[in-house]
Amino acid sequence: MANGTADHTILQVEDLHLNFGGLAALSGISFGVKPGEILALIGPNGAGKTSVLNCISGFYRPQPGHIWFANRDLTRVPTHQIARLGVARTFQNIALYTGMTALDNLMAARHIHMRQSTLASALYFGPGHREEIVHRRIVEEIIDFLEMEPIRKRVVGTLPYGLRKRVELGRALALEPRLLLLDEPMAGMNVEEKEDMARFILDIHERRRMTILLVEHDMGLVMDIAQRVVVLDFGVKIAEGSADEIKRDPQVIKAYLGQPGSQ
C-alpha cells in the first residue's frame, strides 16, 4: 500500500514522535490523507490516536516529526493559525461555549472569516450588518444540513449529550475547513444517535466534498464509513489499508483480541 507522496495527499504525517517524559506516546508514525477521502485512525485504548490529532491541530509539538498541510509544516505554525489554514476539529470531550445558544456557537466559528473591524461590527447598519447576514446564511445552511432547527436557539449547556456533539460538528463545519478532524464523534452515544452521526459524516463527505480524518473506537462503524484505515498500537503504526484488508490483518486481530492461547 503506497502512502503516496506529498503531491497526492492533502495531509502528510512524517515520522511523528511524541514523548511525555520517559513515555513514548508516538514512535515514528507516518501516513497520508488523500483529498476527499475518509480516513479512520483506530487502535486500542492508549494507542496514541488522539495524540496524533493533537499534533495536527497544534496542541502538542512533536519531537521530532513533520506534518505537511497546504505546503506548510504544521509543527511550525502557531496553534491559533492552524484553523485559518483550513483545519477544523471536534473534541472527544465536547468543548463548546455552554452558556451560548447553538446558533451563537456556530456564528462564533465564523469569526475567522469575518473581515470587518470591531467598530463596524458593533454598529447595527452598514458593512457589519451585511457581513452578519452572509455568515448567518452559511450557518443556517449548516443548521439545516445537520437538522438542528429545533435547537437553534437553545442554550448549549441545556442540551443532551448527543445533540451537543452535533453542535460541535456544526461548529467545525462552520469554519469551512479543508480537513475535518473528528475525535471519537460517536463515543457515548446510543445506537440511533450513532447511526444519525454516521449518516451526517457520510453526507458531509458526499455533499461538501470534505476530507475527513476520523478517530474512532467503534470498529463496526469505522468499517462502514471509512475508505481507508490506519491502525495504531502503543504509538506504532501496525497496519494501513482498506477496511476489508484491515479486518483480515493478523496484527490488527492480535492488537484487538490478544494473542491466541496455546491450546
Partner 1 sequence: MTIDTLPKQFVETARKYGQGKVAMRRKDLGIWHEYTWHESCLRVRHLSLGLISLGLEHGDKVCIIGDNDPEYFWAQLAIQAAGGVAVGIFTDSVPGEIQYIVQHSDAVLVFAKDQEQCDKLLEIRAQVPAVRRVIYWDEKGLWSYNDPWLMSFGDVEALGKELDRREPACFDTRLVQGCGEDLAIFCYTSGTTGHPKGAMISHSNLLEGCRIYNQVDRRLDSDEYLSFLPPAWITENILGLTVHVVNGMIINFPEAPDTVQDDLREIAPHALLFSSRLWENLVSTVQVRIADSTWINRLLYRLFMPVGYRVAGLRFESGRVPILWRLLYAIGDLAIFAPLRDKLGLTRVKSAYSAGAALSPDVVRFFRAIGVSIKNLFGSTEGQIHTLHIGNDVKFETVGIAPPGMQICIAENGEILVKGPTVFRGYYKNPEETAAKLRDGWFHTGDAGYLREDGHLIYLDRVKDLLELATGDKFSPQYIEGRLKFSPYIKDVMAIGGRQRAYVTAIINIDFANVGRWAEKQRLGYTTFVDLSQKPEVYNLILQDVVRVNQTLPSPARVHKFVLLHKEFDPDEAELTRTRKLRRGFMEDRYREMIEAMYNGQPEVNVSAEVRYRDGRTGTVETTVRVCSVDS
Residue type, 73: D
Q: What is the C-alpha separation between 211 and 203, in angstroms, rounded? A: 12
CB of 252 closer than 8 Å to CB of 239: yes
Give the bridge partners for 235, in sequence order.
none
**What's the per-residue H, E or C state across 141-178?**
HHHHHCCCHHHCCCEHHHCCHHHHHHHHHHHHHHCCCC
Q: Which is nearer to partner 1, 113 or 136 (CB)?
A: 136
The C-alpha atoms of residue 112 and residue 174 are separated, in whole angstroms, by 10
Q: Which is closer to partner 1, CB of 147 or CB of 244?
A: 147
Q: At what angle do helices 161-174 and 127-145 cross, to 10 degrees?
A: 130
Query: Using CB under 8 A as the criterion, which residues of the chain lie in contact with partner 1 when the complex forms?
Result: 136-137, 140-141, 143-145, 147, 149-150, 152-153, 199, 203, 206-207
CB of 68 to partner 1, least distance (A): 31
Of 147 and 224, nearer to partner 1 (C-beta) is 147
In angstroms, give the least distance from the CB of 227 to partner 1. 14
The residue written with cell numbers 502503543 in the block is 234
- Quote the least distance from Cβ 96 to partner 1, whole Å: 20
Name which of 85 and 155 has its Cβ closer to partner 1.
155
Q: How far is the CB of 195 from partner 1 (least distance, A)?
A: 12
For the CB of residue 170, give the shortest distance to partner 1 in the complex, in Å: 14
Q: Which is nearer to partner 1, 29 or 139 (CB)?
A: 139
Q: Closest approach of Cβ 140 to partner 1, in Å?
A: 4
The sign one gets for the Cα dihedral 18, 24, 29, 33 is negative
Shortest distance in whole angstroms from residue 204 CB to partner 1: 11
- DSSP 8-state secondary structure symbol assigned to residue 260: P
Q: What angle do CA 60, 61, 62 make, to 5 degrees?
A: 110
Q: What is the rounded CA–CA span in Å between residue 45 and residue 97?
A: 28
* Residue among 190, 189, 204, 196 nearest 94 (CA): 189
Which C-beta is closer to partner 1: that of 73 or that of 144? Answer: 144
Q: Which is nearer to partner 1, 91 or 200 (CB)?
A: 200
